[in-house]
Amino acid sequence: MVPRVIFGRGSFNQLSDILAPKRLNINAPFIFLVDDVFKSNSWLTSRIPLSYDDKIIYISAAEEPKTSQVDDLVEEIILSNKERPSGIIGIGGGTLLDLAKAVSIMLTNEGEAKDYQGWDLVKNKAIYHVGIPTISGTGAEVSRTTVLTGPTRKLGINSDYTPFDQVVLDSELLKDVPNDQWFYTGMDCFIHCVESLQGTYINTFSQSYGEMALSLCKEVFLEDNLTSKESQEKLMMASWHGGMSIVYSQVGVAHAMSYGLSYLLGTKHGIGNCIVFDHLEEFYPEGVKLFKQMKSKHNVVLPQGICSKLSDKEFDTMIDIALDLEPLWENALGKNWKKTITRKKLKSLYIKM
Ligand code: NAD
Ligand code: ZN
C-alpha cells in the first residue's frame, strides 16, 4: 500500500515541504517526469519546486509506456547526473505515473525493464518515488503494478517495491482534462469496479473498496455536473478506491481483451476498455447496461470496426496476448474458464469491435 498520501485542492503547493527531507545531498537531484501537455502551462510548471541539479523531463503520453522507453530514461538519468537521484516524481495520468514507478525501480535493479515484467521479480527497493495524478481513473497512483509494453508482451512489473512512497491528490490539477478523455479514463475505474466485484477472486477487503468506488462513479457519470469541483474530487477518490479494490483481487474480460487491442493496434487503455466493454453484455449484464447509460448521457461515440480489416494472423496475435492473462480469465469466469473462452469465441468478440 502507498504509505503516505495528502489530499486537497491546492495541496500541490506542499510538494517542496514533502520533498525537502528526502533529499540525499545536493548532487542527488529530484527528477520530475511530467506529461508534456503541461509544457507550456506555467500555472503548473512554475510551481514545481526545483533546486540544485533537479530536472524536469517532459514526456508525451500519446503512446503507452514501453520497456525500452524506461531503459532509455534510466540511462539518460544516470549519464546526466553526478549521483543517483534522491527521488523520481511522476506528474500526469497513468502513462506518466507508470513511467515514474518503472524508472525508480530500474535505477536500483540491474538489467532491462523487460526482465521484470511479471510478478515479484524485482530484487532491490526502488528509489523514493512520488505520484501526482492529473487525470483520474486508472488507479495507477495506488496500484502495485506499472504496466509496460515490452518486445513480446504487455505486462506489468508487479512487486512490493512498485507502489509510490508518497501520493499527492490535488483535484485542481484535473481542471483542464478534455471531456472525452475524462470519460475514457473514468470508465477505466468503473470497469475495474465491475470486474473486481463480479470476479471469483472477490473478498471483503476488495469488495469494500470496489463498492465505494462504484457508487462514486455512478454519482459522477449519472448524476453530477461532469466538470464540477465535486466531480473532480469524487473521481479522484473513486480512482483510488477502485485501484485498491483490484490490488487485492483482479480485473477481468474487458482488460484481458483490451490488452490485445493495445498490443496490436496501440489502442490506449481507457478507450480500449470502453470499446471492449460495450460488447460484454453476456459477461457483465448490469455493468454494461449502466455503461451504455453513461455513454449516452455524455454523448460519447466510440470508434467502430477497428478490427474489421485485420488478418487472421493479427487476430491470432491479439488472442495470444489476451489468453496469456490467465489470472484475469480465472477471476472473471472461475477455474474452468478454458471451457468457455476458446480462440473462436475471442475472435467472434473481436470481430464485433
Ligand atoms: P494518460 O496518462 O495516457 O493520458 C491521457 C491523455 O490525457 C493524454 O493525452 C494526456 O496528455 C492527457 N492529460 C492528462 N492529464 C491532463 C490534464 N490535467 N489536462 C489535460 N490533459 C491531460 O491517461 P490515463 O488513462 O490516466 O492512463 C493510461 C495509462 O495507464 C495506460 O498506459 C495504462 O496501461 C495505464 N494503467 C496503469 C494502471 C496501473 O495500475 N499501473 C492501471 C490502469 C491503467
Ligand atoms: Zn484498467
Report pLDDT digits (tens) over 256-273. 999 999 999 999 999 999
Q: Which residue has the cell 467472434?
A: 348
Assess contact for 107 and 80: CB atoms under 8 A.
no
How does residue 175 score in pLDDT terms, banded at 50, 70 and 90?
A: very high
Task: Specify the ligand 1 atom closest to the Cα of 98.
Answer: 41
CA distance 280 to 302: 15
CA distance 56 to 283: 44
Nearest CA to ligand 1 atom 40: 140
Q: So what's the pLDDT on residue 152?
A: 86
As a whole number, the mean pLDDT across the chain is 96
Task: Specify the ligand 1 atom closest to the Cα of 144.
Answer: 40
DSSP assignment of 215-265 equals: HHHHIIIIIS-TTSHHHHHHHHHHHHHHHHHHHTS---HHHHHHHHHHHHH
Q: So what's the pLDDT on residue 220?
A: 96
Mean pLDDT calculated for residue range 12-37? 98
Going by C-alpha positions, the residue among 9, 128, 147 that lies closest to residue 69 is 147
Task: Specify the ligand 1 atom closest to the Cα of 35.
Answer: 11
Q: So what's the pLDDT on residue 136?
A: 97
Q: So what's the pLDDT on residue 153?
A: 85
Mean pLDDT calculated for residue range 321-328? 94
Mean pLDDT calculated for residue range 282-304? 97
On whether ipTM exceeds 0.95, the answer is: yes
Assess contact for 207 and 265: CB atoms under 8 A.
no
CA of 135 to the centre of ligand 1 (A): 7
Q: So what's the pLDDT on residue 54?
A: 98
Q: Which residue has the cell 480489416?
A: 309
* Ligand number nearest to the C-alpha of 328: 2
CA of 50 to the centre of ligand 2 (A): 32
Mutate to test the pocket of ligand 1, among 37, 41, 96, 275 (most ligand atoms within 8 A of CB): 37
CA of 26 to the centre of ligand 1 (A): 32
Q: So what's the pLDDT on residue 13?
A: 97
Residue 203, class by beta-carbon neighbours within 10 Å (0-12 exposed, 13-18 middle, 19+ buried)?
Answer: exposed
CA of 192 to the centre of ligand 2 (A): 6
Q: Which residues contact 231 (CB under 8 A, 6 or more apart)?
A: 220, 224, 225
pLDDT of 226 over the 80 cut: no
Residues in contact with ligand 1 by the CB-under-6-Å rule are 35, 37, 61, 64-65, 92-96, 98, 134-135, 137-140, 143, 145-147, 173-174, 176-177, 181, 185, 188, 268-270
pLDDT of 274 over the 90 cut: yes
Nearest CA to ligand 1 atom 8: 61
* Ligand number nearest to the C-alpha of 185: 1
Task: Specify the ligand 1 atom closest to the Cα of 174.
Answer: 18
Mean pLDDT calculated for residue range 277-306? 97
Task: Specify the ligand 1 atom closest to the Cα of 156.
Answer: 41
Q: What is the pTM of this model?
A: 0.96
DSSP state of 338: G
Nearest CA to ligand 1 atom 33: 269
The domains located in the chain, with CATH, are 4-174 (3.40.50.1970), 179-352 (1.20.1090.10)
CA of 81 to the centre of ligand 1 (A): 28
DSSP state of 66: B
CA of 327 to the centre of ligand 2 (A): 15
Mean pLDDT calculated for residue range 101-128? 97
Q: So what's the pLDDT on residue 23?
A: 98
